[in-house]
Structure 1
């Protein structure tokens, strides 16, 4: 009875240690600061029989961080708020009571496979003294590809474009973004061969301890 008790004493921690070694996982977070600007072109296209316009924004910066030299924000919907005199931008047309329009989105890209995706909202005000349209808003990063797969984060932005006497002409200006995003990276579980090696090492140690105990 005494020997069985001692054998059980060695066996229980051995199995527990092995199961912990096989199932343990660690998630590492890589944070990417993002502070840059893009030269942008904004096109507003009125939607017939409504007071809403569709907005498309394209930008570029050859020196943008992480090789994300291109930026686009498509299918934004803007409407003048009569209470404030500001333009409100959303990416879901149903917020303005319109049905059947695609949901908008943001994309940062470059020459490789690394991309960031997100959604945004913004407000823009008219500065008639300086003849500019000035906007503020936020981009919520919701995913990506390449090394940015699964990215999440928040980028705040400001932008300014000189007003054009031709309302159908694109507005050209600059947007400034500041914030960060992060990507989770899982450390792989131990491989089967490593687990088997651990079993063999523990079993050998157990047998040696048993032999020493029986000699006593």
Structure 2
């Protein structure tokens, strides 16, 4: 999936707000688009890595929206999730290399009630315009499942079943 990442510093903090969008024209189930909004990132002083979370309270920020992820296409089918990730600077290869997971926690259409987990690895080149979104590639693996919907029995099927039982009972009485 091709990606774009935009980091916007939050004034008076060491935290940035991140927006990630993605596109894969060959994605399964027609879920060709991805967006991850209201992510929060900061550098871990112990490792030098960027840490991405969707709950700003983890970084001590209050009153900001909790983030969410969405896979979608042109129809009503969507998958929803929450992600967390880390990214490290590979200065030798001039890349930002990230990895994390997306916990699937719902959906719409055929994906209503979906649960699962995706793992991802993402790479963005650091040889880009510093004022533009970082462009790169994400690679996902994992799975999700949806609860099977049991169709409601139709009135015709119920009446047919009752008729079969009734005929069986009537036929049984003739032989005794």
Q: Out of 130, 135, 147, which is 1:172 matched to?
A: 135
Aligned: 1:163 with 2:123: no
If the length of structure 1 is used for normalisation, what is the TM-score?
0.75
How many Å apart are 1:146 and its aligned residue? 2.3
More helix by share: 1
The 8 Å contact of residues 45 and 168 in structure 1, kept in 2 or not, is answered as no
Q: Out of 3, 22, 44, which is 1:59 matched to?
A: 22
Relative contact order (C-alpha < 8 Å, sep 6+): which is higher?
A: 1
Aligned to 2:44: 81
How many Å apart are 1:145 and its aligned residue? 2.0
Aligned to 1:99: 62
Q: Out of 186, 203, 207, which is 2:166 matched to?
A: 203
Question: What root-mean-square deviation, in Å, do the aligned CA atoms of Structure 1 and Structure 2 show?
Answer: 1.8
How many Å apart are 1:119 and its aligned residue? 0.9
- State the SS of the aligned residue for 1:186: coil
Q: Out of 46, 53, 60, which is 1:90 matched to?
A: 53
Indicate the larger mover: 51-60 or 143-152.
Answer: 143-152
- State the SS of the aligned residue for 1:184: coil
How many Å apart are 1:39 and its aligned residue? 1.1
Aligned: 1:181 with 2:139: no
Aligned: 1:149 with 2:108: no
- State the SS of the aligned residue for 2:47: coil
How many residues are paired up?
A: 176
The 8 Å contact of residues 128 and 134 in structure 2, kept in 1 or not, is answered as no
Where do 5+ consecutive residues of structure 2 fail to align? none
If the length of structure 2 is used for normalisation, what is the TM-score?
0.91
Query: Relative to 1, partners in 2 of residues 1:185 and 1:50: Cα closer, same or farther, differing over 3 Å?
Result: same
Per-residue displacement from partner, 1:70-117 (whole Å, max 9, x unpaired)? 111111000111111111100010111111111111111222222211
Aligned to 1:34: none
Query: Relative to 1, partners in 2 of residues 1:75 and 1:211: Cα closer, same or farther, differing over 3 Å?
Result: same
How far, CA to CA, are the matches of 1:189 and 1:112 in structure 2? 25
Larger radius of gyration: 1
